[in-house]
Amino acid sequence: MERILSNQNSRVKSWTKLATRKGRQENRTYLLDGWHLVQEAIKASAKFHAVMATPEQMEAHLADVPHGVPAFEISAEVAKHIAGTNTPQGIFAEISLPEKSFEPSYVFDGMWLLLDQIQDPGNVGTLIRTADAAGFKGVVLGEGTADAFSPKVVRAMQGSQFHLEVLQGDLSHWVDSLATNGLPVYGSELNPAAQPFQDIMPTEKFALILGNEGQGMQSQLAEKTSANLYIPLAGQAESLNVAVAGGILMFHLALGN
């Protein structure tokens, strides 16, 4: 097993580039940080390119790494450099980006979350994780939404990318296709024309659009929906964080909670 002790090592430089969208697209891979995420990837039979770990983490987990995956023992300083944080968990994996083409005109069932220009990585990751928890079939990230495989989104997803479809797509095309196939498409808005979310009965097939943290949904999408929903607020706050609002709407529409 190769030991890597320097941040100037060529492999370390390659792994750190995966923190950027350009690096991920060039290599068609991304990084997992922490044993929980590595374990989820193993369960999902993801394609591994490498596992990197400090001596303690390597001793604890090497036996569980799929046979034939290159393993590299790294120093604590290298682990910090790769993670970009001062408190990494000490074990990483480089795995392939999903290679999927998904045509929404073939979608006739399931619950789908559409993210319209949501820019905060923490919000995006939390929404994907919440969609997973609520039993959604997939999440579609529209143009302007944070990259699902950036380090902050990956940490916030907590492995949910292995449990449902995480896709990029033209949301206008998705809305048109889903509506044609008989799925109601709900938006989320704060305006007098929107309906209280409690008015909508739960169902097993629908799409929910959540919009940008500051601007909300694009108007051209809001005009296409079956209904736009709002969450009545009892206190004096003007609005909810999009991840919190998304969680309320997803669980109500999916389960009636």
Domain boundaries, the chain: 2-96, 104-255
Q: Is 90 exceeded by the pLDDT of residue 118?
A: yes
Q: Is 70 exceeded by the pLDDT of residue 257?
A: no
Distance CA 27, CA 234 (A): 49
pLDDT at 16: 97
Structure-block tokens of residue 176? 């048109």
Q: Is the dihedral of CA 229, 233, 238, 239 positive or negative?
A: negative
CA 162 and chain centroid, separation: 10
Q: Is 70 exceeded by the pLDDT of residue 123?
A: yes
pLDDT confidence band for 256 (50 / 70 / 90) = low
- pTM: predicted TM-score of the whole model, two decimal places: 0.94
Specify the CATH superfamily of domain 104-255.
Answer: SPOUT methyltransferase, trefoil knot domain (3.40.1280.10)
Question: Dihedral, CA atoms, 11, 17, 19, 22, nearest 10 degrees?
Answer: -140
**Edge-to-edge order in the sheet of strand 195-196:** 165-168, 138-141, 111-116, 206-211, 185-188, 227-230, 195-196
Distance CA 246, CA 211 (A): 10
For the chain, give the mean pLDDT. Answer: 94
Segment (H or E) for 43: helix 35-43
User: Which residues does 242 contact at the CB level (< 8 Å), separation at least 6?
Assistant: 118, 120, 123, 127, 210, 211, 213
Q: Among residues 190, 166, 181, 174, which one has the least CA distance to residue 224?
A: 174
pLDDT tens digit sequence for 132-166? 999 999 999 999 999 999 999 999 999 999 999 99
Q: Counting Cβ atoms within 10 Å, is residue 171 exposed (0-12), middle (13-18) or buried (19+)?
A: buried
Q: Is 60 exceeded by the pLDDT of residue 218?
A: yes
Q: Is 90 exceeded by the pLDDT of residue 189?
A: no
DSSP code, position 165: E
Instruction: Decide: 161 and 100 in contact? Cβ < 8 Å.
Output: no
Structure-block tokens of residue 71? 């393993």
Architecture category of domain 2-96 in CATH: 2-Layer Sandwich (3.30)
pLDDT tens digit sequence for 193-210? 789 999 999 999 999 999
pLDDT tens digit sequence for 35-75? 999 999 999 999 999 999 999 999 999 999 999 999 999 99
Give the three-state DSSP class for 76: helix
User: Which residues does 3 contact at the CB level (< 8 Å), separation at least 6?
Assistant: 72, 73, 74
